[in-house]
């Protein structure tokens, strides 16, 4: 199959969140299975120059008087097409530009023209999030009439329903498309016009049909329910590997679990926590955003520190109110609380390796990668049962003696505290169960192979469908 993967961010070129990881790992996994994949992204100023060293010019695309220079970079056997024009390559910010409606309308239009210029005739165009939501709409209104695209189908993946791209429809009309309303919602158009819609976990696929999680698009999503599926993300198991991770002072495997303790000692020392292997260390690595359930943590953390004598380490940055709270609690309990405010990938890996437990009580979580990394590092996740957390973390069940973590259902601080205490009790009093939980995490399969296989099956099911029935949907 020929697949064009279109994304506003792609690791290692540019990354603000999980979408970049998916846009790197999924095309790679598809190519490994023998499919012909290319990736299309904007040529931002922020892309490190080193990555553009081998770039070569392939074509130009002119739209409404703007000339986009399309350059190709080949990495690990995949062709990445970057479009250079001051619209992207002269900007200090990636998503905060006041004309982002215009930027990403152009991105979609240029994508459809450039595929034709380079004669990459895709079976599937895989689009992602609001920035590419116009592609299925443009296909429907203009490009299906072109014989070049006659056999092309579109997939639209929702990575986070909250960010929808709601603008005036001026940019779209400027490009010559018919659109009657003054307001436009790029994500909504992706959902309405793509042949298939996916999101990044099975539970999130169900949740977004409800008022609570649906972000006002649940009614539109319900109309597409028959074409909506959830496929959970994987992680790069080579990049996240406790056996080879250079960020760890003491690498370990499932056979040498006792070596994990040295990493805990290192983190305790580095951040002036009491150095003691027996005190449970709870880690959290996150954007400091209310989505991540931080209000539950601020509600009970002091009580937990005092009565359960645990340690807590936070790596994160974001909203000032949370940063201030964690600074305050660290100053009050310096032997028990460590914090690092900022983004630090290397420290993140040490925290995954050093912690005994990883806390992720999200309000909503489309997929979540942190819990998968924790499992891989034998760090027992404690999560709220939502989205991808619900699909990947299975709460320990003493009857069946199964599970790989602990979880709670309601968005309630004391339910979370109760679950933390349950975990801490096992940690202190039942070393066998604890070891079993760690091993269950470390031996799970979080690689991209399974997820990529499910996308391939989805693509294939579309290709087998008669064309007219697909276009009608
Ligand atoms: P989201 O994409 O909603 O932020 P995910 O759990 O899907 O949440 O992915 C977050 C990723 O970013 C994880 O790999 C996590 O380790 C990493 N991360 C988050 N905050 C930081 C930080 N301050 N420093 C280093 N890595 C971070």
Q: Which secondary-structure segment (H or E) carries 470? A: helix 467-472
Predicted pLDDT of residue 473: 44
Query: Is any ligand 1 atom within 6 A of the Cβ of residue 317?
Result: yes
As beta bridge partners, residue 153 has 124
In contact, 195 and 154? CB cutoff 8 Å: yes
CA 459 to chain centre: 21
Q: What does pTM read for this prediction?
A: 0.94
If 0-12 CB within 10 Å is exposed, 13-18 middle and 19+ buried, where does residue 51 land?
Answer: middle
pLDDT in tens, 143-174: 999 999 999 999 999 999 999 999 999 999 99
DSSP state for residue 284 in the 8-state scheme: E
- Find the 370 Cα to ligand 1 centroid distance in Å: 6
The residue to mutate among 18, 19, 158, 340, having the most atoms of ligand 1 within 8 angstroms of its beta carbon, is 18
Query: Is any ligand 1 atom within 6 A of the Cβ of residue 369?
Result: yes
Query: Is any ligand 1 atom within 6 A of the Cβ of residue 285?
Result: yes
Residue nearest to atom 7 of ligand 1 (CA): 368
- Find the 181 Cα to ligand 1 centroid distance in Å: 37
Nearest atom within ligand 1 for CA of residue 292: 3
Query: Is any ligand 1 atom within 6 A of the Cβ of residue 165?
Result: no
Nearest atom within ligand 1 for CA of residue 160: 3
As beta bridge partners, residue 21 has none
DSSP string covering 175-204, please?
TT----SSEEEHHHHHHHHSSEEEES-HHH
Six token digits for residue 55: 């770039």
Query: Is any ligand 1 atom within 6 A of the Cβ of residue 344?
Result: yes
Query: Is any ligand 1 atom within 6 A of the Cβ of residue 370?
Result: yes
Query: Is any ligand 1 atom within 6 A of the Cβ of residue 413?
Result: no
- What does each of the 473 residues of the chain score in pLDDT, given as a tens digit? 999 999 999 999 999 888 998 999 999 999 999 999 999 999 999 999 999 999 999 999 999 999 999 999 999 999 999 999 999 999 999 999 999 999 999 999 999 999 999 999 999 999 999 999 999 999 999 999 999 999 999 999 999 999 999 999 999 999 999 999 999 999 999 999 999 999 999 999 999 999 999 999 999 999 999 999 999 999 989 889 999 999 999 999 999 999 999 999 999 999 999 999 999 999 999 999 999 999 999 999 999 999 999 999 999 999 999 999 999 999 999 999 999 999 999 999 999 999 999 999 999 999 999 999 999 999 999 999 999 999 999 999 999 999 999 999 999 999 999 999 999 999 999 999 999 999 999 999 999 999 999 999 999 999 877 655 545 44
Distance (Å, whole) CA 469 – CA 133: 21
Query: Is any ligand 1 atom within 6 A of the Cβ of residue 388?
Result: no
CA dist 363 → 19, 360, 410 (Å): 19, 9, 9
Residues 6 or more apart whose CB falls under 8 angstroms from that of 129 comprise 7, 8, 19, 157, 158, 159, 160, 163, 187
Residue nearest to atom 3 of ligand 1 (CA): 368
Q: Which domains does the chain have, with CATH numbers?
A: 2-234+449-472 (3.40.50.2000), 254-445 (3.40.50.2000)
In contact, 297 and 381? CB cutoff 8 Å: no
Distance (Å, whole) CA 456 – CA 138: 24
Residue nearest to atom 15 of ligand 1 (CA): 370
- Find the 153 Cα to ligand 1 centroid distance in Å: 32
As beta bridge partners, residue 281 has 311
Predicted pLDDT of residue 464: 72
The residue to mutate among 23, 161, 204, 348, having the most atoms of ligand 1 within 8 angstroms of its beta carbon, is 348
Distance (Å, whole) CA 248 – CA 461: 43
Residues 6 or more apart whose CB falls under 8 angstroms from that of 335 comprise 272, 273, 274
Query: Is any ligand 1 atom within 6 A of the Cβ of residue 444?
Result: no
Query: Is any ligand 1 atom within 6 A of the Cβ of residue 286?
Result: yes
- Confirm or deny that 15 is annotated as ligand binding: yes
The residue to mutate among 286, 291, 294, 361, having the most atoms of ligand 1 within 8 angstroms of its beta carbon, is 286
- Find the 62 Cα to ligand 1 centroid distance in Å: 37
Complex ipTM tops 0.95: yes
The residue to mutate among 370, 373, 375, 377, having the most atoms of ligand 1 within 8 angstroms of its beta carbon, is 370
């Amino acid at each position: 199959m020929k697949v064009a993967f279109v994304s506003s961010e792609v690791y290692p070129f540019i990354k603000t969140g999980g979408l970049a990881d998916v846009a790197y790992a999924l095309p790679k996994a598809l190519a490994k299975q023998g499919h012909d994949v290319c990736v299309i992204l904007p040529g931002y100023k922020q892309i490190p120059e080193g990555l553009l060293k081998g770039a070569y010019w392939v074509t130009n695309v002119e739209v409404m008087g703007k000339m986009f220079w399309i350059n190709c970079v080949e990495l690990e056997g995949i062709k990445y097409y970057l479009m250079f024009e001051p619209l992207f390559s002269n900007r200090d910010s990636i998503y905060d530009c006041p004309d982002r409606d215009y930027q990403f309308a152009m991105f979609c239009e240029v994508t459809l023209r450039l595929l034709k210029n380079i004669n990459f005739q895709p079976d599937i165009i895989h689009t992602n999030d609001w920035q590419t939501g116009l592609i299925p709409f443009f296909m429907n209104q203009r490009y299906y009439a072109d014989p070049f695209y006659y056999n092309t189908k579109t997939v639209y993946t929702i990575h986070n329903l909250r960010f929808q791209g709601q603008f005036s429809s001026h940019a779209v009309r400027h490009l010559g498309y018919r659109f009657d309303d003054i307001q436009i919602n790029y994500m909504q158009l992706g959902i309405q016009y793509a042949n298939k819609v996916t999101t990044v976990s099975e539970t999130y696929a169900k949740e977004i049909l409800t008022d609570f999680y649906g972000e006002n698009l649940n009614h539109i999503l319900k109309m597409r329910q028959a074409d909506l599926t959830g496929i959970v993300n994987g992680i790069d198991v080579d990049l996240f590997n406790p056996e080879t991770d250079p960020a760890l002072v003491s690498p370990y495997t499932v056979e040498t679990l006792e070596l994990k303790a040295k990493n805990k000692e290192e983190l305790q020392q580095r951040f002036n926590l009491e150095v003691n292997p027996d005190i449970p260390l709870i880690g959290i690595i996150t954007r400091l955003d209310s989505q991540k359930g931080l209000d539950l943590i601020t509600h009970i953390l002091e009580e937990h520190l005092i009565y359960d004598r645990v340690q807590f380490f936070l790596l994160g940055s974001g909203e000032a109110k949370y940063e201030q709270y964690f600074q305050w609690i660290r100053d009050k309990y310096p032997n028990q609380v460590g914090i690092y405010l900022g983004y630090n990938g290397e420290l993140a890996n040490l925290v995954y390796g050093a912690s005994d437990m990883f806390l992720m009580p999200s309000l909503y979580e489309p997929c979540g990668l942190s819990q998968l990394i924790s499992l891989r590092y034998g760090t027992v996740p404690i999560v709220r049962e939502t989205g991808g957390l619900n699909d990947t973390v299975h709460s320990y069940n003493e009857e069946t003696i199964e599970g790989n973590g602990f979880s709670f259902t309601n968005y309630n601080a004391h339910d979370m505290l109760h679950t933390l205490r349950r975990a801490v009790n096992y940690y202190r009093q039942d070393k066998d169960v604890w070891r079993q939980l760690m091993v269950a995490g470390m031996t799970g399969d979080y690689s991209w192979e399974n997820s990529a296989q499910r996308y391939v099956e989805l693509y294939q099911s579309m290709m087998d469908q008669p064309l007219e029935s697909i276009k009608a949907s």
